[in-house]
Chain A
Amino acid sequence: MKKNILFIAMILMVNFAWAQDDLLDMLKAENTVSSPVLATFKGTRIITGQSNENIAKKHLNFLILHRFGELKDDATYYSFLGIDAATVRLALDYGITDKLMVGVGRSSVAKIYDFSVKYKLFQQTSGGNKNFPIAVSYYGNMGVNTTTFADPTRDNYFTSRLNFCNQLIISKKVTPGISLQITPTFVHRNLVAKTSDPNDIIALGLGGSFKITRSTRFNIEYYPRLTGRDELIPNTKNNFEDYLAVGVDIETGGHVFQLMFSNSTYMYEQGFVAQTTGKWSDFGIRLGFNLSRTFSFDNEPKK
């Protein structure tokens, strides 16, 4: 009998609880729609390489990137930690739609103009019953080297100035504090300096972003080359290195500052994948920073 009373009491309690929260529970049960995962990375680049993030529709992003001289060349602080040897890339990225972004940039290194496009193929989603687990984007860019030709008396072609990069960007925000990315990268250069230099290089970009506070993150980025390494090409000694960088993001509302150490002076893919020369092991690393500011041109009348 005691058991039965307990049973009845339980049923009554359950009923009581339902009557209390029924409205809220009914609504909560309906609000299980998948929504896009936001802010996998703070900016459109993890450090120098692209992240899966795009600029929103009708928003313009202005980027100033700097890389300084190698620290190993400056044991006496004569060039102030390499800062005297600054290289710069200025860039504008614009969101045509929320999925499609186009960009243009100009680097002081090799006087390169670059034109890029990034498209979100799949968006990671959460919160629903059927979520998509990863985000996938395509990124492509074309660089135009505008330095004067070394030998103007030769037959020089405009196409020799061009180089290309194609990337598939696969990323996942694993937890609110940890985002990871794999970036298969194919770089093609129409003209290379030496016959032993490969025109095509395949690299597997790896990146990670780790939240420190709400406004700061620690980032790491590594682009090991799968082809085109010295040891894979007979009788060659180009001494190119795999690109590796570590940095922090500091976000201040409208601006994102990215401070980093990297072993490349290049600020676009064809450069840092194929022509990185610094060795981390002997301080061939450079201080650098990216500064980005986003402007909204979304002037739809406020309701």
Chain B
Amino acid sequence: MKITNQVIGMKLIITIATIALFSIANSSAQTLYKASNASVSFFSKTPIEDIDGKSETATTLINLETKDIAFVIQNISFIFPNKLMQEHFNEKYMESEKYPMSSFRGNVQENIDLKVAGVYQVTVKGKLTIHGIIQERTITGTITVKEGSILLESNFIVKNSDHKIEIPSLVATKIADELDVKVKATLIPKK
């Protein structure tokens, strides 16, 4: 009796494991689109100084089935016209050695089918992680679905204070608390 129980148990495990594995494999087939050259830029405007940084190497994934979207960006990939600002951005504010990546993971809230071509205004709800601080965010944007490619575009605001990025009072007049962030990515089917 004991042995049969164990055998049934083992079979059950194998079956479930197989199903589990298949479900992972299934979810990542055909419906995944990817970009590793997404552009992310931000802009800080104060009466004294304008600061802008841009990365062209952000990575992003979208799952058309589950309507999940993920972004990961290496903080050190942001390029500034003034290299001193670039160094300070990484060394003093983002602390890129401690927190090398910024990321977003969210889900499209609208009841739409992203496998059908079209232009969709979407609301994406999810978690934005910058400087090690996770913020629940609802970000609006546009998803343009075409044959073989998907375009993601979004503008949103990131507040330094929301992510515990402290601006020393000495430079507070030069760095805005609210940064305008622009995201643009063209995704192609993931191989």
Contacts and interface: CB of A to CB of B under 8 A. Distances in A.
Nearest to A58: B83
Given A23-B63, A27-B70, A31-B74, A253 B54 contact: no
A8 B95 CA distance: 41
A22 B81 contact: no
B113 interface: no
Nearest to A173: B97
B171 A252 contact: yes
B161 interface: no
Interface in B58-105: 59-61, 63, 68-72, 74, 76-77, 81-84, 86-88, 90-92, 95-98, 100-101, 103, 105
Contacts of B163: none
A23 B83 contact: no
A27 B59 contact: yes
Contact count band on A:
35 or more
Nearest to B36: A30
B166 to A, nearest CB: 8
Task: Report whether over half of chain A's contact residues are helix, strand or loop; otherwise say mixed.
Answer: mixed
Contacts of A4: 6, 9-10, 12-13
Contact of B88 (A21, A27, A253): A253
Nearest to B6: A4
A170 B162 CA distance: 39
A8 B54 contact: no
Contact of B170 (A39, A252, A294): A252
A67 B174 CA distance: 32
B28 A22 contact: yes
A296 B87 CA distance: 13
A83 to B, nearest CB: 25
B29 interface: no
Nearest to A98: B83
Contacts of B70: 23-24, 26-27
B33 to A, nearest CB: 11
Nearest to A176: B97
Interface string A32-59: 0101111100000000000000001101
A253 B170 contact: yes
Given A1-B5, A31-B59, A31-B72, A8 B12 contact: yes
Contacts of B87: 38-39
Contact of A18 (B16, B24, B81, B100): B24
B98 A11 contact: no
A300 B83 CA distance: 13
B105 A23 contact: yes
A24 B105 contact: yes
A285 to B, nearest CB: 29
B27 interface: yes
Interface in B21-38: 23-24, 27-28, 36
A27 B74 CA distance: 11
Given A24-B105, A252-B170, A296 B12 contact: no
A23 B61 CA distance: 6
Interface string A15-29: 100110111101110
Nearest to A21: B105
Contacts of B171: 252-253
Interface of B: 5-6, 9-10, 12-13, 16-17, 20, 23-24, 27-28, 36, 52, 54, 59-61, 63, 68-72, 74, 76-77, 81-84, 86-88, 90-92, 95-98, 100-101, 103, 105, 168, 170-171, 174
Given A27-B61, A214-B91, 6 more contacts: A8-B16, A11-B13, A23-B61, A23-B105, A35-B74, A215-B92
18 contacts: A1-B5, A4-B12, A7-B9, A12-B16, A15-B23, A15-B24, A19-B23, A22-B27, A23-B63, A23-B105, A27-B70, A27-B71, A28-B72, A38-B96, A126-B97, A214-B91, A296-B82, A303-B54
